Structure 1
């Protein structure tokens, strides 16, 4: 647990920090709550917190002065600090720019957004912990790797020597991480299932980083590298289907090691927030331009949805769309590798979720494609047919497995409602979409969520309405329309039934208690 110190002179604010934030669930512990900067420094004389939230406007010593004194103290200068104030101040904005503030939140404080910030800060603190842990080690591969991340040339050369890696070899970084509460493999477990010829580094944050390179020195070294990476990613995904596997861009001689590591951290922050397992590639910069990872991911995601619905027409259409994108990309081989890796990860998740045995995966899951699938430029038919055939096989088997597991489809239906609450949702149509009996869905929906179907939809909408009322200047009528209500009056009656106040009264009361502000993270 990371230790937190909160500094605020408003008693109701201190009480809010204590009661509205679920610290432990997000890896934190609220250890101290004081009312001014001087009290905070007194606390930090005895123990250094991992994270500090401080108000700006306070008696005795305000928040800016507290941070200035912390920056001058050798043991406090690197403490992560979040500024929270009831005033919009130009000097605070200048202070934030000077110290390279990366994130902002708006008050009134909203529970969900505070928790999102804590998740982000937890990742940052994890990475700092890894660096601190490895800094004290002897001249191990991990220690040299950490120094090389700082663009130290001597450490880069030492890294190449320790891995017996050719000076100009093409390389990528792979990171294996946990998803939610699922365990991640250790360095020893990863090394046990993969061939020799790569470096493996275990970090304190519960993840393993691998340095993979090609021994080939000719022009096909990048192709050899990508083939090796795909093989390793598939093997890792098969062995640990609940983990996340991130793959960086490509470099030569590890000259851009720090950039590759940043790519992994970016992938990690995005995917961990969604809590989805699978294989994720980074669309690094190529000599001919920016490779469009978002395009590959979006097309593949549409194809995966078609597989989950076992829609043959949609599968064939989206398979063709994906094939067109791959062949038309600046670098078709890289586009193919990333798209198929994403597709395989998604199919593996769906197969595993449906109850399939991932220890003995079906043949269709082991995707194998090569240059023969892209022989003629502009001819998408061979590749499209191969992708469609694989996905049709997957859809048929996944549906067969799901037909025996209505509970799994029920959970998918609940998740769908939670994310699509703005849409016009009908229980009967939802039941058809997830191949469930409407009566069964209605009964089990209440069992799982604690609410009837319509009540749950209203609950999600009003939850979002609260945020829009406090964070925007949108009219109540506009908010009602955006959240799927046919009239402002009906929206108002639903809102009042769940909150005991009208939308306008809620906005007025809440803004009177939680003053507008911009917290800043250091």
Structure 2
């Protein structure tokens, strides 16, 4: 599907054109509209359409100025169709000079417009076919083989000649990595489509100056092997070149792009060495977090750390998670990621540290009889290193996981405590006639007596002893009403060893003695 934007200061003219032409049937998708040339220029930079249909006379910037501006600038150069209510020959002359594909007068004839769109589509497909045919693509496994040192010089030179690599030319391998694309099948499909566009965009940006060979490395990474011709002897020149490539990319994805520059070298051997050193530069992506362009020349004197994070920091983070102490959790995570940067952690060490954190949380979840698979963010945490991620992207993921884990642990603990206190209440109601105290019952349920007392009061709004007394007195009243048991016998039945104490407690609750209570029943008619 070819993409197209419409530019006309008359909204009804744009909407009419939208309704007039069967765009999808012709293989086009309208991806934007603009009121004037200045707005259209921004859309062209942002959306990179294949075709622009524009009026001539518009405020701010007219159609011809828009076309000439686009033609003079580097980057995307869409095909143009001019629509105009003016048949002045000078407009047609300028349109031809600017390389406009068609000049169509208003009111627009549907058949004429469809013929123009079909011609442009055929032209675009022909250009794309020629571009694909001229583009040389290397194979990443082949470059791995070259850089492994397991290929003899004769075989290396023969393979290089097949790709047009000249012994006297300088080559530099540049790896371009798009980070933080996410996970899942839909994300993969989107990433594949976008990476195809990226490769074409970077190739087109290089092609006018030098030959570039493109090769895939993964879903989100590809390589450029670029030739500068004669040796430059300057790493800065290649870094500058990579910086220009970065600024060629769309602004919305630029922050997540990382470009790694290998050591430039001559001929096939130089290609192999440049590829190897570009991959080595990738290892510094976390140590130099925030840098969009990382060159081997920059990192060759740097040392990476291969170690685990401080055990004390990990233990503190787990404690804060169990306590659901959000400020302390965030401070510990900040400290963890600062350590990655300051101590130049290698990717393997970052992965090991993150895995340690994930395992720590899942262990706590299991200990409180939870299920770690209930954590929605666990799946992403288990596969985050399968696709490129910036350190800030990894941090966002671990923060989300820690926050979800802490909330889950807190909720599970509350539910477990709620279940336990309900069992305590049932036990009291069943065993109230036995010798019972807060201390004895806390031993039965393996709970701290102070914590049990606080939890009981919070849950049921009464202190343990008051609740037990209420249960016993109510049962005593029932026995006094329904039986001829003596007071001391009733006291024994409801859990009082001392009859006098029973009488005192009964009177405290009912404001009369057990005997008075029973006699009051006899006086009622």
Same topology, TM > 0.5: no
Whose radius of gyration is greater, 1 or 2? 2
TM-score (norm 2): 0.25
Query: Which fold has the larger relative contact order, with Cα–Cα distance below 8 Å and residues 6 or more apart in sequence?
Result: 1
